[in-house]
Structure 1
């Protein structure tokens, strides 16, 4: 059966910590990435690779909807090999249907952002968007295409099409890219699998599968704050599609959320605090993007955004005398909105309605029992559960994997 871990805000919620905890229980046979690219921010060696590689008993799959960067793949494998991770190369598999993420895409990504000017998306500039764009326009190249006689011709055509669009601004060497892939061609072959057959067998054998969702719901290409989103489906549906999972194979869906809100890059952020509160959240929370190195924007928890949650990271709020959560948006005519609008222009007209809570102003770092949490913290969690309608099963109380209250 499958357990899926999803982000419920704009990413960086601490999904990696929960993933590490679940993997440490030895309860999963397989760990899989369903979508995204080498822009995940779990840790230094896991931008592309599934986190299950840390557990020598877990097999790992990079699923068909992932855009696959060969350089990042072997770089991260090399880092893990240097750390002595056992049976590394026999436990990682790459879907033959993954679309390739080239250096060309990264070059185009940077130019696309420059053209947007003040309306930049704030991408990682790793070419994720252009890779998915080529996939959707049906002129992308997949892992399996690397072994086709048409590979060189198609990559040259792709480069030429971008050259026509950007001219001399495009700093890219197609000959170097072709030589790079010629060197990787046989090196990559042992890792490639038919992921459809792989997952069918896993489901037939009733293997336990942990799915690492990428980014978060509010960055979903369909349901996020479009156009300030990533280029893949980061929701439950994206995980099912990206791994050819049967919905009947699902056991748990765990949504992860911070007890406050952060995001990197452009786009609307109704509860953002451009003041001392925001700075304090950045400093205490160590809010620097793992993938980007950028300082994250910070604000209060938004329960309009947060439709469901099963994991809360609490300790950053320990020193605040008052803690706020957004529970509605107020329109210019005074009516309340409790759903996130599709038209982002509406957000500029709304005021945020907050509910205030007394802070606990004592350290919760390392607490592992619900009863040991301050009453004010318990009240805060209980309110979130009541508002969202889902139990909070995991509460992070520090950066270490063991620092967690488990109520499941």
Structure 2
């Protein structure tokens, strides 16, 4: 497969950046297709940690062309800060992507605080309000942002509108001049990289180049197919890639579903397989389960294959990539959620209504764990038998073959089971 999507199968933080970084060494292009800097990828190579929030995971390899596609919303200030941390790179930014501006962040806070105890748990990065403006036709595209005169005119109009909205929440008014003076410098920085990325990608496909598409978050945070309203403001599914990049659906060859060997979630919302005991603390500390963007401790749960099958259905998965397998070392018994009890019925689906989903209780099977150190294995055959059994059971329950797995944070601790890209 030459055009592959990397999909998070859970609530994000599955290790997509690591898998993308590994496969990117075989790619010509890496494309980020949605989201903004409300999510983060952590990539470790040669003992050095890189935290990426906007830039595609291939940005660390000078030979790779990187694309920020039209489905993204881009915070220019965050972009400038992140770009300053990388040296030799190739980057292309869609002229149709939308711009996150300071009033989006203020409105994000205002909307969230107004919900009280029903808050979603956003990162206050302004992502939702930016997508809202996009849908309301009040957004600013990158093409306008980098234009020497249109940016000033459009920004003035938008701040007039948004200040009226901020007044309703009792927030202070934003000053046009200070925002313009700061952000025009970001526009000049960004301008050389801006292009029609749909045209660029289709030209790359005509040349038969290898392309990896990566998103932010996971399928369970999809605006349409996730645990609404506890979701993000775009779709991280593989099926959203054509719209978010300007590439025809039939030109995508397949998708790798990245899943942790267990389940995590940041923020509010249902999580049927969540655990709260000392074992949850052990997994959180061993797996360093704290948000890349926020630093918030992640909620911990057993692997939930109802969720993985849901992801397979609504997004499409060709292979699974199982990450953080080493974190489960030393646990005598591992549970896997295989179905839910809901209103006295056993179901294999996720209810659309959030209250119904919160009433679902997981049904588990138990498999034996392992105590051997697996951080230095180089192949599937090197794994202890119980670890192989765990991977095989996941594949059987989800109905998707294991394509790769990882046993540590470093790029070299990623093992291919099948040649898939």
Please classify the TM superposition score into its range, dividing by the shorter chain length.
over 0.9
Question: 2:12 maps to what in 1?
Answer: 11
- Please report how far the alpha carbon of residue 174 of structure 1 lies from its aligned counterpart in structure 2 after TM superposition: 2.8
Shift of residue 157 of structure 1? 3.4
Residue 206 (structure 2) aligns with: 204
Report the alpha carbon displacement of residue 366 of structure 1 after superposing the two structures with TM. 2.3
Aligned twin of 1:99: 98
> What is aligned with 1:241?
243
Residues 173 and 387 of structure 1: CA distance in aligned 2, closer, same or farther (over 3 Å):
same
Answer yes or no: is the 8 Å Cα contact 1:45–1:80 preserved in 2. no
Structure 1 residue 201, shift from structure 2 partner = 1.1
The total of aligned residue pairs comes to: 398
Contact persistence 1:107–1:170 (CA under 8 A): no
TM-score, with structure 1 as normaliser: 0.93
Equivalent residue for 1:323, pick from 310, 313, 334? 334
Worse-superposed segment, 257-266 or 103-112: 103-112
If the length of structure 2 is used for normalisation, what is the TM-score? 0.91
Aligned residue in 2 for 1:263 = 265
1:218 corresponding residue in structure 2: 220
Q: State the alpha-carbon separation in 1 of the partners of residues 190 and 22 from structure 2.
A: 30
Alignment deviations for residues 330-381 of structure 1 (CA, whole Å, 9 cap, x no partner): 1232x20111111111123222101111111222222222122121111111
Give the alignment of 1:73-152 within 5 angstroms: 73-81=79-87, 86=88, 88=89, 91-146=90-145, 147=147, 149-152=149-152
Structure 1 residue 4: Cα displacement: 1.0
Q: Which residue of 2 aligns with 1:67?
A: 73
Q: Does 1:363 align with 2:365?
A: no
Moved more, 168-177 or 289-298: 168-177
Structure 1: runs of 5+ lacking an equivalent: none
**Contact 2:80 2:186 (C-alpha < 8 Å) held by counterparts:** no
Q: Name the stretch that deviates more: 133-142 or 247-256.
A: 247-256
Give the alignment partner of residue 273 of structure 1, picking from 272, 275, 294.
275
User: What's the CA shift for 1:29?
Assistant: 1.2
Root mean square deviation of aligned Cα: 1.6
Q: 1:399 to 1:45 in 2, by over 3 A?
A: closer
Distance 1:160 1:274 in 2: 47
Distance in 2 between residues matched to 1:28 and 1:235, nearest whole Å: 21
For the 8 Å contact 2:80–2:189, the answer to whether it is kept is no
| Pair 1:162 & 2:172 matched | no
- For residues 385-400 of structure 1, what are the structure 2 equivalents within 5 Å? 385-400=395-410
Are residues 321 and 104 of structure 1, via their aligned partners in 2, closer, same or farther at CA, if it must alter by over 3 Å? Answer: same
Aligned to 2:196: 194
**Residues 106-115 or 163-172, more deviating:** 163-172
Q: Distance in 2 between matches of 1:351 and 1:184?
A: 49
1:407 to 410, 417, 421: 417
Asked if 1:332 corresponds to 2:343, the answer is yes
**1:62-103: per-residue Cα shift (whole Å, max 9, x none)?**
10111011112221111113xxxx2x3xx1111111111112
How far apart, CA to CA, are the structure 1 residues paired with 2:361 and 2:212? Answer: 39
Alignment of 1:293-304 (within 5 A): 293-304=295-306
| Whole-angstrom CA distance in 2 between matches of 1:266 and 1:159 | 31
Deviations 1:137-167 (A, max 9, x none): 1111111112274533433333333332332
Q: Which residue of 2 aligns with 1:282?
A: 284
Deviates more, 1:246-255 or 1:235-244: 246-255
Shift of 1:51: 1.6
Which position in structure 1 is the counterpart of 2:386? 376
Structure 2 unmatched ranges of 5 or more: 43-49, 313-318
Q: 1:207 to 1:363 in 2, by over 3 A?
A: same
Which sits farther off after the overlay, 9-18 or 238-247?
A: 238-247
Distance in 2 between residues matched to 1:331 and 1:110, nearest whole Å: 35
Q: 1:372 to 1:71 in 2, by over 3 A?
A: same
